[in-house]
Amino acid sequence: MRFQRLSLTAAAALLLLAACSDNGVQLGEFPPITKTEGDEPFDLVAPTSDSPAPFTFDSSDARVAKIEGKRVTIGVAGVATITARQGERGSYNPTSTSTTLTVNARVCEAPSVRENGLCVAPPTTAGYVTRGEVVWMPASFQLSWAKADAFCRNTTIQGAKAWRLPTRNELAELVASGELDGRGWKGGDAWTKSAGATANTYATVNLLSGAASDLAAGDEAYVTCVR
């Protein structure tokens, strides 16, 4: 009888262990992700879990999102299913959860064109100017202020990102330096990111004379981006 009682106790323990395992591990939130073509790679954040097992991640479409470890590289516009998996460890069964990663097509501000998910500046025969560590894109077209600002921030120029409109002082100093002579830049007022004296205006600098003036944001002026 004693041997039987021990067997029942052992069996009960095994059943209890099996029940804990079969219940699996309830994972925390793994929310949907939205990105835009050309965004920088990013790291996935694993859902919370009581299991000590490490997570692995995979993508249903490597064209949209390629995963190495937890690092995701954004590809073309589309939707991919991202699955987070935990393997078996000790009494913990394998478990997984999924979410969606939506990559939106990048909207490019003309005259930039969309190439492989990036907005790329149009070719120009005018010369880029480098002063110290600062590079200037030549002024060759006109836009309103908001479109000029969006063009500089969102466009890949000479293979590089992180461009912006110059300040009034930066552009005035460039014109005064004489380095625009013979570079083929257009000669007219060019936008800066400096606010004007009245609402909804921004400072411009004339690329020939260096004279500063304010224009309404809806007007058009030449665009030069700096980084």
DSSP 201: E
* CATH number attached to the domain at 113-222: 3.10.100
For the segment 83-103, the average pLDDT, to the nearest whole number, is 95
Closest by CA to 70, choosing from 42, 94, 89, is 42
For the segment 136-141, the average pLDDT, to the nearest whole number, is 97
pLDDT at 129 exceeding the cut of 80: yes
- Return the percent helix, strand and coil in the chain, to nearest 5: 20, 35, 45
Tokens 């200037």 belong to which residue?
Answer: 136
For the segment 202-209, the average pLDDT, to the nearest whole number, is 98
pLDDT at 15: 34
pLDDT at 10 exceeding the cut of 50: no
- pLDDT classification of 167: cutoffs 50, 70, 90: very high
For the segment 73-95, the average pLDDT, to the nearest whole number, is 95
Strands (E), the chain: 33-36, 42-43, 55-59, 65-68, 71-74, 78-86, 95-104, 113-115, 118-120, 129-131, 134-136, 142-143, 155-156, 189-195, 201-206, 212-216, 221-222
pLDDT at 145: 98
Mean pLDDT taken over the chain: 90
The lowest-confidence range among 6-10, 19-23, 29-33, 194-198 is: 19-23
Same topology, domains 25-104 and 113-222? Answer is no
Which residues share a beta bridge with 206? 189
CATH fold of 25-104 reads Immunoglobulin-like (2.60.40)
pLDDT at 180 exceeding the cut of 80: yes
For the segment 84-111, the average pLDDT, to the nearest whole number, is 94
Which residues share a beta bridge with 36? 104
* Domain extents in the chain: 25-104, 113-222
pLDDT at 12 exceeding the cut of 80: no
* Separation CA 95–CA 181 (nearest Å): 66
